[in-house]
Amino acid sequence: MKKKNNLTDDPDVIRLIKKKKKGLLRIVFSRFGITALVLLLQIMILAAVFIWFAEDIEYYALAATLFTLVVLFRLFLLDMDSSAKITWMFLISLLPLPAAIMLLFTEKDSGHARMSRRLSRLVRDSRNAIAQDESVLKEDKVVQSSTDALCTYLNLSNTFPVYNGSKVTYFPLGEYKFKAMLEELKKAEKFIFMEYFIIDEGLMWGSILKILADKAAQGVEVRVMYDGMCEISTLTSDYPKRLEKLGIKCKSFSPLTPFISTQYNYRDHRKILVIDGKVAFNGGVNLADEYINEIVRFGHWKDTALMIKGKAVDSYTHKFLQMWHLTELKKDMDWSAYFGLADPQENDGYLIPYCDSPLDKYKVGETVYMDILDRAKNYVHIMTPYLILDNEMETALTYAAQRGVDVKLILPGIPDKKMPYALAKTHYKHLLECGVKIYEYTPGFVHAKVFVSDDEKAVVGTINLDYRSLYHHFECATYLLGTSCIPEIEEDFEQTLEKCSVVTFDTIKNTKVSYKIRGTIMKVFAPLM
């Protein structure tokens, strides 16, 4: 049940956030449209075969079998995750023609290739915009924790320096981040960069937008980018033009187009805010009222975020500018005015702001998580909204537990999506058998994406434990080593744990039959979710 927004009576705010009628939703787009067409095509072909060639049906069956075998052989030659291959094999066996067309569409993804070339060029041309302080890499804590080795891997895909001299603040709820955001936005003098997966009109966005409009009028450079999926869920397709009238530069990343959109899977799931190059925000909190519990959708909304001040802010600026220019690649890009602006901070441990891209061969998000699991000595405590695991991640979780590490997972008690919730439950039994402890957040929905280990390491960001985040989305996160907020993250985990119910073999046995059926069926299609 929704709670009434306590919106300000300021007419300027009301005018800025007033919703505009969206019109007909463009529900026929990308792979949905293609899938519908090829399914219809297969039905028509089958009907024609049975009507016109009833006497020679055995020849059609032979041709169909040979076609299926050829497609399966081609499938096994592809460089693809093994779980995904099993899913494709099932689909090809069930519906050869639609699955073969979809596989070809995926393999020859021209949108992917075009974006990949653009990103590669951006990464190459902007590598020198920020640099690694080599002395930081050689410091004892960095070397002894093997963070230097992790940094070496991360920098194969992009530029992700290890920083010291930055201050990190942890927010255990979206409400706290929102309050800090408003305070910092009001201080902006030079530029504001915002990149969020979801923006929805309401108290949160209305309050922020009022500040952005005021700052733009004062001459502050304001850029806002959100994911194109908002066009069918929260915002109108003309929203960038509406913000431009307020002096705000705005983009919808990968907006949806009818039928053929080869970039459909590659959503911008990142959440980054940079102000004047001095302060940055990262975490799971989007710009919508449920994230700050102003409205209630799935019980209490548990989310987390970080505020970073100091030298590391340059890295968030760097990642924002790369994504901003991904859609308008220019030959000459001078970003120097946006870097080196942070105020000096006392050394508060080490951090690596990093991002993950579906356009390269590196599994950055998953690898960082597995590195924490593999190196943990005492515990790894995790909060995640979704648990749709590939073989590698499930092995990393179970191996850590089996060698004596205390591995605990906090998952939602009230789901936002029933299919992923049912899929998560299909992993419970095996994880419990291997010693992983699982809890469900009784008051509501956990949207936090948090790993914390051994009072020494932590990750807070946007990366879920599912195929979408680990394979298909643009993501970002902050890796922390020895920062003063890590005990606070662990304390928050323990306090959240007190509000959870423990998952046991008995609770698994008593799971609703509907969830068991959904989970079993959907597990076949998990790599495509």
Say how far apart CA 389 and CA 426 lie, in whole Å: 10
Question: Which tens digit of pLDDT belongs to each residue from 392-442?
Answer: 999 999 999 999 999 999 999 999 988 889 989 999 999 999 999 999 999
Helix (H) / strand (E) containing 411: strand 406-412
pLDDT band at 41 (very low <50, low <70, confident <90, very high): low
- Comparing C-alpha atoms, which of 469, 470, 451, 468 is closest to residue 460? 451
- Comparing C-alpha atoms, which of 225, 209, 206 is closest to residue 217? 209
Q: Which residue has the tokens 């309401």?
A: 202
- Name the DSSP class of 471: I
| Residue-range domain boundaries for the chain | 11-18+115-151+164-348, 30-111, 364-528
Say how far apart CA 494 and CA 490 lie, in whole Å: 6
How many other CB atoms are there within 10 angstroms of residue 81's CB atom? 17
Question: Which tens digit of pLDDT belongs to each residue from 491-513?
Answer: 999 999 999 999 999 999 988 88
Sign (positive/negative) of CA torsion 446, 448, 451, 453? negative
| CATH topology agreement for domains 11-18+115-151+164-348 and 364-528 | yes
Question: Which tens digit of pLDDT belongs to each residue from 296-314?
Answer: 999 999 999 999 999 999 9
Say how far apart CA 206 and CA 287 lie, in whole Å: 10
Say how far apart CA 441 and CA 413 lie, in whole Å: 4
Q: Where are the alpha helices (DSSP H) in 224-289?
A: 239-244
Mean pLDDT score of the chain:
86
Say how far apart CA 308 and CA 478 lie, in whole Å: 10
Task: Identify any residues that bridge with 502 across adjacent strands, giving them in sequence order.
Answer: 439
Say how far apart CA 290 and CA 238 lie, in whole Å: 24
CATH number at 364-528:
3.30.870.10
Residue 124's alpha-carbon distances to 121, 128, 184, 317, in angstroms, are 5, 9, 32, 16
pLDDT band at 257 (very low <50, low <70, confident <90, very high): low
11-18+115-151+164-348 fold: Endonuclease; Chain A (3.30.870)
